[in-house]
Structure 1
Amino acid sequence: MSATVLVLVEAVNDYLPILEHMGFTLIRAPSPALRAQAIAAHADQIDAVLTRGPLGFYAEEMAALPKLKIICVIGAGYEHVDLVAAKTHGLTVTNGAGVNASSVADHAMALLLALVRDIPRADASVRRGEWAKISRPTLSGKRLGILGLGAVGEAIAKRGSLGFDMSVSYHNRRPRADLPYAYCSSPLELAKASDFLVVATPGGAQTRHVIDAQVLAALGPEGFVVNIARASVVDTVALVEALQNQQIAGAALDVFDEEPQVPDALKALDNVVLTPHVAGLSPQASEATVRMVGNNLTAFFSGQPVLTPVAL
């Protein structure tokens, strides 16, 4: 397969040879400076772009690449890919929806357990030579609310219901009749019905700050929030205020507004658990993600329908 791919992602480097073995030529540009240089130097060679949601790909970049035909996004989110511009330029856009769902769901449950059981502080106390024993809530029998019941949300729901005997409610763009969980008509209603609220919905303008001060207040002082989706879904200012004022019990976050910068106000709190956007990273997920990209590229350049198209 003779096509040249501009690779903007940095998290799956160990698996990029899969694409080379499939016959694709890669131009690696994992920083803003290298990205600009590559577009300027190789504009007449680039047939495809590999990016991820937070990195995106923009109208002016598409306009600068006359041979560009397809943009592949690893992961489900594509919030910073200019879909209007892609449609204008006649491009195809794909994503990796569902490929890393198991990894993300595992991480969501790990964050929830660490947060609710206060594992980080317990670990730190033992390392300091202390033996502080604090009674913490159990997960069993609690109410799990999931915002966004796509592949990731469904995997989280399965783990919560079957693994921890939790009742599951969810809010989605539309109810899912194929699953046995309780549908809530709004994020506010979902928060009222939840002890643990897990954010698993895509980012973008439609979901920006849907978890706001009102929703957090509805979750209540014994409620916990976990976000493994996109930081934009949660109003960070409102979240910090709710945590500082003990309006909610705690939060666990894998995503942040200005990565890799994390607000000092969050880092100063002892009722939060923070990880560096690693929920979707596992050897299995990374390999599957790159193979999905390769399969989409192979299908496209062979004149076949892509496997995971994004509607433009």
Structure 2
Amino acid sequence: MKPDKEKKMKLYRWGQSAYETEEDLRKEQEGLCDIDCSLELGTTPPESADIQGLIVTSKVSVDSQIMSSLPNLTFVLTTTSGYEHIDLEYARNHDIVVGRCPIARRDAVIDTSIAMALSLVRNLPSLHHEAQKGVWARAQLPNRNIKRISNLSIGLIGYGIIGRAAFRVWSDLGAKVRWHDPNVLGSFPLEELLSMSDVVSLHCAHTPSSHNIVCTETLNMMPVGSILINTARGKCVDMEAVTQATHLGGFGLDVFPCEPPELLSSYAAHPNSILLPHAAGYHNELGSSVANEVIDSITMWMENNNLPHVV
């Protein structure tokens, strides 16, 4: 159903993330007003039957009960890359389009994943750990597997918006890059990718096929001294298997199956590890970037009844 051009499209913004300021929300509200939309901001579930579009954060659950209470709902747009908080089956069965906003965080996620990978490849956390013990570890260097970017083989799991951008950046830096994504033509077989990679970096959604894609079996396919990076989804990695994979050279994790993880300090005890509090996508302009992407996404909806990044 196309928006009625004779009146403003009614939208409801449910929730505000910690990084979003009142100025960010005002910018979003004014930008949507400019394209003939009326945006109501709220912290409680939507109640008006007139709502046509729902904008949400990852902190709320958009389930069948919520969507069924909005008879005129045409789309749900999450301000995040992930969409696990939305009942996709119900939405698809009732012709409700679900979209997401991956661009606002894309470059920050790539920056973080590459920063972690290079730090671990260069053994920086481990060398710092030695310094904290008062050890001048220069004599250890010949026994450490420290490579330059031009000698690295990178394996990306996931070749969507973030994975493709990561491929370009790693390639520009001079690394050899391969990728695995069963949904994209040209994908490397997973076993082959893992066995050839110095660094394996996850950039995939969490789906039934990617659940615990990094497990004991797949970790054993990775070479001795290789590095694991996960800035994608926590449930794509079996954490117990990672902690028991003593052949790994290190791991950098931004996401975990349960957050915050109960065993955080235990995971951090690995000398060549980097653990972040789901921070990879953050930057100091994130709130403004999200507002811009929301406006751009709904502008596209108003023009051709679709969203740019449909789930």
The two structures have a TM-score, normalised by structure 2, of: 0.81
Alignment of 1:65-104 (within 5 A): 65-104=70-109
Verify the 8 A CA contact 1:194 1:219 in the aligned structure 2: yes
User: How far 1:118 moved relative to its partner?
Assistant: 3.3
> Aligned partners of 1:121 and 1:16: how far apart in 2?
42
Equivalent position to 1:219, from 207, 222, 225 = 222
1:152-182 CA-partner distances (Å, limit 9, x unpaired): 112222222221x2211111125556xxxxx
> Aligned partners of 1:66 and 1:86: how far apart in 2?
12
Going from structure 1 to structure 2, the CA distance change for 1:231 and 1:61 (only over 3 Å counts) comes to same
Going from structure 1 to structure 2, the CA distance change for 1:142 and 1:295 (only over 3 Å counts) comes to closer
The residue that corresponds to 1:268 in the other structure is 269
Going from structure 1 to structure 2, the CA distance change for 1:89 and 1:211 (only over 3 Å counts) comes to same
Verify the 8 A CA contact 2:56 2:78 in the aligned structure 1: yes
The residue that corresponds to 2:249 in the other structure is 249
Verify the 8 A CA contact 1:253 1:274 in the aligned structure 2: yes
Identity among equivalent pairs (%)? 23
Task: Tell me if 1:287 matches 2:288.
Answer: yes
1:86-124 CA-partner distances (Å, limit 9, x unpaired): 123332211124443222111110111222223345456
**Structure 1: where are the runs of 5+ without partners?**
30-37, 178-182
The residue that corresponds to 1:117 in the other structure is 122
Going from structure 1 to structure 2, the CA distance change for 1:53 and 1:199 (only over 3 Å counts) comes to farther
The residue that corresponds to 2:17 in the other structure is 10
The residue that corresponds to 1:162 in the other structure is 172
Q: Secondary structure at the match of 1:50?
A: strand
Going from structure 1 to structure 2, the CA distance change for 1:55 and 1:172 (only over 3 Å counts) comes to farther
1:272-309 CA-partner distances (Å, limit 9, x unpaired): 21111122222455433321212323443x46323415
Q: Secondary structure at the match of 1:239?
A: helix
The residue that corresponds to 2:182 in the other structure is 173
The residue that corresponds to 2:66 in the other structure is 61
> Aligned partners of 1:257 and 1:266: how far apart in 2?
13
The residue that corresponds to 1:27 in the other structure is 41
Q: Secondary structure at the match of 2:81?
A: coil
Equivalent position to 2:147, from 138, 145, 151 = 138
User: How far 1:258 moved relative to its partner?
Assistant: 1.3
The two structures have a TM-score, normalised by structure 1, of: 0.81
User: How far 1:61 moved relative to its partner?
Assistant: 2.4
Going from structure 1 to structure 2, the CA distance change for 1:113 and 1:286 (only over 3 Å counts) comes to farther
Equivalent position to 1:233, from 229, 232, 236 = 236
Q: What residue identity is the alignment partner of 2:157?
A: L
Verify the 8 A CA contact 1:295 1:307 in the aligned structure 2: no
Going from structure 1 to structure 2, the CA distance change for 1:285 and 1:151 (only over 3 Å counts) comes to farther
Task: Tell me if 1:148 matches 2:154.
Answer: no
Q: Secondary structure at the match of 1:279?
A: coil
Going from structure 1 to structure 2, the CA distance change for 1:261 and 1:20 (only over 3 Å counts) comes to same
> Aligned partners of 2:16 and 2:261: how far apart in 1?
18
Aligned length: 291
> Aligned partners of 2:59 and 2:200: how far apart in 1?
23
User: How far 1:5 moved relative to its partner?
Assistant: 1.8
1:117-163 CA-partner distances (Å, limit 9, x unpaired): 23345456657776444525124212111111222112222222221
User: How far 1:10 moved relative to its partner?
Assistant: 1.0
Larger Rg computed on CA atoms: 2
**Structure 2: where are the runs of 5+ without partners?**
1-7
RMSD: 2.8
> Aligned partners of 1:62 and 1:251: how far apart in 2?
40
Q: What residue identity is the alignment partner of 1:154?
A: R
Q: Secondary structure at the match of 2:229?
A: strand
